[in-house]
Amino acid sequence: MTGAFTTPSFEGLKALLLHREHANTEALERQFARIGVRVTRVWPELEPGLGFGDFDILLFDADMGYDGQFAWAPGEAPMPTIALIGSEAPGRVSWAAAHGADAQMLKPIGSSGAYSALVIATHAFARRKALEQKVETLIGRLNNRERLAEAVAVLMVRHGLSASAAYNRLRRSAMEARVTMDDAALRILDETGAGEEKSSGL
Amino acid sequence: MAEKIRVPVGILFSRSGSYAGPAGQGYAGALSAIEAVNADPESRFELRPVVADPGGNTDRYAPLARKLLVEHGVKHIVGCTTSWSRKEVIPVIEKTDALLWYPCMYEGFEASENVVYVGACSNQHVLPILEFAMPAFGDKGFLVGSNYIWGWETCRLAREVIGRSGGVVLGERQVSLGDTDIGHIVEEIRRKRPDFILNSLVGPSSYAFLKAYRALGEEDPDFLPARRPVLSCNFLENEMREIAPAYEGNFTTAIYFQALETADNRAFLASLDPALVDGGISACFAQAYASVLLIRAGLEAAEQATATAQLEAVKALRPSTPLGPLTIDPATNHLHAPVHIARGTADGRYAVFHHSREAVAPDPFLSRTPLTVGARQTPAPARLRIVP
């Protein structure tokens, strides 16, 4: 069974709704109640004693919202976000987009839309987090390329090897020690950096 | 006697086209109930049916609904069979205070404040039929459905429930609405030997499939319903009459069956035109009938109010209907309903053998329903056994 076939359940989730009191927010609260999501509505900012960390999902007003409402830089919301869009003036829509809204709902809000927005926002958020993770790993690897080259050079000098033989030796030692190439390279550089010429077993 | 207050009621069903079978039941049910209300000396209202027939064409529903609301001043429409057609009517009706009474089983994931869902949603049909069938027949299913949202979502949910319950889906086939070329599906079932087949086909496709599967069972007793039955959440009494005895031994779930042995139901059937009763009275008929009774209850309670305010009044009542006393869920406008399971007989009737102990609360978004059922593990062939 793949994830594509599972019925999402939002029962018990806590949503933060950043919007002034309005018929739209009442309609939204009714929709969320039907699917078991508890809504806390605040405007314009969180009251003392409440933190964004207390919530699983954020809905914010794209019409009257402003940067200072959020505790993070644009696009870095630590939870799925849904923009509530009234005016489709490009300035407001771009602002909501810059804040990395994972999904959107258009006002006026009637009796549908919240469920699909939740499904899309949670999917988009999961994808966003997975991508961030991947980018972090890749940046780490990129940074390590220099180390890798340095470690190969150390092995060439130390053992009088060709570049490819030194590379193979590094790879073999990584495999034997069951660590990544990066970690194996780091070990060699650490030894060299400490200025000790004792045998590393390589 | 005081002059009765005339109230127009929109009736919006397709009496021709690929799903005229169930739609015709909705139509007849609504009209029979209007007749009954009008004949009741206790009633202060004379309901006047305003009939519109989209002829099975989805694009005609919205304009006809608008016409009923604007030109005829209708505040209540009983109508729609498919989810597509309901989705067409919703934007029109949500601009008003009027109500659509939708008297059909459907796949859920909707709760319009201008629609009353007078039929079962998934936790009241797919879940109970699998809960019954998997322990009884085994955990290997085969899914067939009509190629639109009802079939898709019924199959998707069944696949999820079967998978989560430790079972497997051996095959899934979707058939275009109206398509009767289904020999290849029966052939696939013959090869794969599922423990049960969940059938969410609609209309002629369903009839063709059921006849072909019956023929397979006559040819090879390993495919008789006692061993590998067909299960359905939308196969109606009037349709079963047409293809008798093809549905013999197969199973259907519904919140109403003609064969229900209750005082409410006996009185209801006795009150109907015997010709209608002979043709089969289905859940779609009874649910449309119940819709009209609920409309009347709302009028009695809050005649001057808007239709949506009348609905709020009905929610506080438990009006008596052929389905029993009905509660409308305040949050979702769906029914709290008892769930029954019945077996088809050789003469094209149902024999009801299982009732839920109490009314099952609607859960149209499946937020609170566990999506697993107890399953009987069927021994898999040795070469397919996976040892963890």
In CATH terms, the fold of domain A141-193 is: Arc Repressor Mutant, subunit A (1.10.10)
Instruction: Sort strands A38-42 and A81-85 into parallel, antiparallel or unpaired.
Output: unpaired
pLDDT at residue B235 tops 70:
yes
Q: Are residues B315 and B370 in the same domain?
A: no
Q: Are residues B346 and B247 in the same domain?
A: yes
**What is the mean pLDDT of the segment spanning B11-26?**
91
The per-residue pLDDT for range A47-68, each reduced to its tens digit, is 888 899 999 999 999 999 999 9
**What is the mean pLDDT of the segment spanning B123-132?**
97
Q: Are residues B296 and B194 in the same domain?
A: no
Spatial distance between the Cα atoms of B337 and B326, rounded to a whole number of angstroms: 7
pLDDT at residue B383 tops 80:
no
Q: Are residues B74 and B127 in the same domain?
A: no
Residues of B in contact with A115 (CB under 8 A): 109, 365
pLDDT at B21: 83
Spatial distance between the Cα atoms of B90 and B77, rounded to a whole number of angstroms: 11
Spatial distance between the Cα atoms of B300 and B308, rounded to a whole number of angstroms: 14
In total, chain B counts a number of residues equal to 388
What pTM does this model have?
Answer: 0.85
Averaged pLDDT score across all residues of chain B = 93
A31 to chain B nearest CA, in Å? 8
Instruction: Sort strands B99-102 and B45-52 into parallel, antiparallel or unpaired.
Output: unpaired
A3 to chain B nearest CA, in Å? 10
Q: Are residues B219 and B356 in the same domain?
A: yes
Residues of B in contact with A11 (CB under 8 A): 367-368
pLDDT at B328: 97
Q: Are residues B222 and B345 in the same domain?
A: yes
Alpha-carbon distance values, A140 to A93, A128, A145 (Å): 34, 18, 9
pLDDT at A144: 83
pLDDT at B160: 95
Band of residue B377 on the pLDDT scale cut at 50, 70, 90: low
pLDDT at A5: 66
pLDDT at A194: 43
pLDDT at A196: 43
Spatial distance between the Cα atoms of A169 and A188, rounded to a whole number of angstroms: 12
Percent pLDDT > 90 in chain B is 90
Q: Are residues B210 and B294 in the same domain?
A: no
Percent pLDDT > 70 in chain B is 96
pLDDT at B375: 62
Q: How far is CA B201 from the centre of its chain?
A: 12
pLDDT at B177: 86
Q: Are residues B271 and B233 in the same domain?
A: no
**What is the mean pLDDT of the segment spanning B96-104?**
97
**What is the mean pLDDT of the segment spanning B278-289?**
97
**What is the mean pLDDT of the segment spanning B158-168?**
96
pLDDT at residue B379 tops 80:
no
Lowest mean pLDDT among A173-182, B50-59, B76-85, B202-211: A173-182
pLDDT at residue B247 tops 60:
yes
Q: Are residues B249 and B147 in the same domain?
A: yes
Instruction: State phi, psi for A13 to the nearest 5 degrees.
Output: -70, 155
DSSP B360: B
pLDDT at A142: 87
Spatial distance between the Cα atoms of B173 and B297, rounded to a whole number of angstroms: 43
Residue of B nearest to A36 (CA): B367
CATH architecture of A3-112: 3-Layer(aba) Sandwich (3.40)
- ipTM over cut 0.85: no
pLDDT at A200: 46
User: Domain segments of chain A: what residues?
Assistant: 3-112, 141-193
Q: Are A11 and B368 an interchain contact pair (Cβ–Cβ within 8 Å)?
A: yes
Band of residue A201 on the pLDDT scale cut at 50, 70, 90: very low
CATH number of B307's domain: 3.40.50.2300
Band of residue B139 on the pLDDT scale cut at 50, 70, 90: very high
A78 in Cβ contact with A72 (< 8 Å): yes
Instruction: State phi, psi for B231 to the nearest 5 degrees.
Output: -115, 145
B371 CB near a chain A CB, below 8 Å? yes
Higher pLDDT, A196 or B217: B217
Band of residue B212 on the pLDDT scale cut at 50, 70, 90: very high
Band of residue A163 on the pLDDT scale cut at 50, 70, 90: very high
Q: What is the residue range of B159's domain?
A: 123-259+340-384
B168 CB near a chain A CB, below 8 Å? no
- Residues whose CB falls within 8 Å of the CB of residue B303, separated by 6 or more in sequence, listed in order: B5, B44, B45, B310
Q: Are A34 and B160 an interchain contact pair (Cβ–Cβ within 8 Å)?
A: no
The per-residue pLDDT for range B249-260, each reduced to its tens digit, is 999 999 999 999
The number of C-beta contacts closer than 8 angstroms across A and B is 47
Lowest mean pLDDT among A1-10, A38-47, A137-146, B278-287: A1-10
Band of residue A197 on the pLDDT scale cut at 50, 70, 90: very low
Alpha carbons within 13 angstroms on the beta-carbon side of residue B65 total 28
Spatial distance between the Cα atoms of B271 and B286, rounded to a whole number of angstroms: 13
* Partner residue opposite B160 with nearest CB, options A7, A33, A110: A7
B250 in Cβ contact with B232 (< 8 Å): yes
Band of residue B142 on the pLDDT scale cut at 50, 70, 90: very high
Q: Are residues B165 and B308 in the same domain?
A: no
Count of structural domains within chain B:
2
Band of residue A182 on the pLDDT scale cut at 50, 70, 90: confident
Q: Are residues B366 and B255 in the same domain?
A: yes
**What is the mean pLDDT of the segment spanning A23-47?**
94
**What is the mean pLDDT of the segment spanning B16-31?**
91
pLDDT at residue B140 tops 80:
yes
**What is the mean pLDDT of the segment spanning B15-36?**
93
B327 in Cβ contact with B336 (< 8 Å): yes
B17 to chain A nearest CA, in Å? 29
Map tokens 């869902």 to a residue.
B117
A72 to chain B nearest CA, in Å? 31
Q: Are residues B164 and B312 in the same domain?
A: no
